[in-house]
Amino acid sequence: MEPDLYDVVVIGGGPGGSMSGTLLSDFGKRVLILEAEKFPRYHIGESLLSGTAELMNRIGVLDRVEGDGYIKKHGVEWVWGENREPWTVYFKDALAMPYDYGYQVERGEFDKLLLDNAREHGAEVREEHRVTDFALGADGVSTVTFQDAAGVSTTVRTRWIVDSSGQGGLVTKRLHQQNWDPYLKNLAVWSYWTGAERPPGLDAGNTFLPTFGDGWWWFIPLRDDRTSIGMVVDSKVVQENRGLGMEAYYAECLARTPELAKRLEGAQRADKIHVARDWSYAYDRFSGDGYIAVGDAACFIDPLFSTGVHLAMLSGFLAAVTVNTVLDRPEMDRAEVLGFYESAYRKEFARLRAQVYFLYSGHGDDKDSYFWHARSQFDVPDAEPEQAFISLIAGAFQHRSWYSRYLQQLDVPAELRDTIEQIFDGKSTGVGVDPHQSLVASPDVTYVDDLAVDGVHLRPARSLVTPTGATLPVTEALERLLSLAGGGHTSVELVDELVRDGSHDREAAQSLVHEAVSHRLLVPADRSA
């Protein structure tokens, strides 16, 4: 008798696994989710981005999260840079955000809610079942072997494997190369407190991020008067403080951060000190014939912007649509379908990593510290500084207040500061771009066949490969902009034309023109020959 055959086996029941398992079940697939632990189980990573709310809504859990009384965060308060005055940014100031708040969650209960939801949507969920082996089948059917809590081993067959095994990376670790970020090799040290002082009113649930010489702290308000308080420091502190011990080092760093210490006057630590490696990495491949990796099984980034759950659920969504396309539409080129997933996930990962680099590069306190010196390398590997900044500014028109406040507080190089201010003011579209100089479409652009999400599948679409090597979808807006180029228009005039024909508001037009200039789709007329 042959083992059971599933359409998809998901390894790991965290947010990425639950997201992909729920959606694939909704798409009519027979799904088995194997989780090594019994939920709820403890996990760090408690602050969710406001954009994650849309992903929760997609799988029908947003109302439950709302009803469970999780703390809402309306913004982030910083003590960052040479100016030690606190400053706050609010999600409501991001014009494109569908929700003006995020949530602070206890991951044990939150992850259980997501896993239970996958079960309710039709996925078969087995907790306390640890995957011990897998084998990719040349005939399109793979096997996954796992043990239950009693040690009984079982093997099932599956048409596809989703690796959501976290930083263990069960499939990716065996098949691919893990590439560590040279500037983001960090350590997280944290504990929980009761009685910590919180700001009044709307700000009570905000994340607080103060810096100190060795790194930065997080202060995350949770339910029942518990607060998660931890620091991210260079991994070398393990060696340097081996004699002192992590308890004493944690206390010493608190004392060196007066803005945080003040909030803890009269508070009590309510848990042990936790220590975990927080090295940023990405595997050289996220997928292959028969498998796809989501969340930390594919890549992990510095936790500064609280992106872990967001990336896990976003990749879970992208993976579900990708796998559904592979299984339902065998006539489509499999390598191209998987390439779409790789490209989409890596683009979001790179965008968020650029934000981390940007904020680290603007930190002005204790410039001699190894931590801040190493992370202030704005010329990140394989990217020019301007290109590393594209993902920030091209989409920054919806987040103008965030970056305006960054500029007021951070030690940003003068040229970069001027560029940002001129872009926001509509006076320029990039470094060294004369607003009075005519622009034309670059001749060094290649159009390629590509894919796009269309409901529960991917469909054929078109993209273009820019002179910088980036791939951008061909949209009506981009085609309109390129058709206008060559008419003797300057960057400012191109913005005016897009606004005049009613296809864009001014901020969207500025964003589009800046992106085109940054990727060198538009170049000065006298350099196009």
Q: Which of 401, 420, 337 is nearest to 160 (CA)?
A: 337
Assign domain 186-277 to its CATH architecture: 2-Layer Sandwich (3.30)
DSSP-H helix ranges across 156-245: 170-175, 237-240
User: How large is the average pLDDT for residues 256-263?
Assistant: 96
| pLDDT range class, residue 1, cuts 50, 70, 90 | low
Rounded (10°) angle between helices 15-26 and 107-120: 20
The reply to whether omega before 199 is within 30° of 0 (cis) is no
pLDDT at residue 100 tops 70:
yes
H/E run at residue 131: strand 130-135
Distance, CA of 302 to CA of 215 (rounded, Å)? 12
Tens-place pLDDT, residues 324-363: 999 999 999 999 999 999 999 998 898 888 888 878 877 7
Q: What is the reported pLDDT for 98?
A: 75
- What is the overall mean pLDDT for the chain? 89
Q: Which sequence spans correspond to the domains of the chain?
A: 5-64+105-178+281-331, 186-277, 349-424, 439-527
pLDDT over 80 at 95, yes or no: no
Distance in angstroms (rounded) separating the CA atoms of residues 209 and 229: 10
Model confidence pLDDT, tens digit, residues 474-505: 999 999 999 998 778 998 899 999 999 887 88
Please report, rounded to a whole number, the percentage of residues in the chain having pLDDT higher than 90. 64
Identify the pLDDT of residue 458.
97
- Written as six digits, the tokens of 370 are 């190894």
- Distance, CA of 330 to CA of 324 (rounded, Å): 10
pTM for the model:
0.92
Burial class (CB in 10 A: 0-12, 13-18, 19+), 2: exposed
Q: Highest-confidence range of 252-256, 393-397, 400-404, 410-414, by mean pLDDT?
A: 252-256
The pLDDT, as a whole number, for residue 452 is 94
Instruction: State the average pLDDT over residues 210-239.
Output: 92
Distance of alpha carbon 314 from the chain centroid = 8
Q: Which CATH superfamily is domain 5-64+105-178+281-331 in?
A: FAD/NAD(P)-binding domain (3.50.50.60)
Among the residue ranges 116-120, 142-146, 220-224, 464-468, the one predicted with the least confidence is 464-468
> Architecture of 439-527 per CATH?
Alpha-Beta Complex (3.90)
| pLDDT over threshold 60, residue 401 | yes
| Cα dihedral: 483, 485, 489, 492 (round 10) | 90
Nearest CA-CA partner of 367 in 375, 378, 379: 375
Q: So what's the pLDDT on residue 263?
A: 98
Find all residues with CB under 8 Å of 177, minimum gap 6, and list them: 283, 284
Residues 6+ apart with CB under 8 A from 52: 102, 103, 309, 310, 313
Q: Which residue has the tokens 């190369």?
A: 177
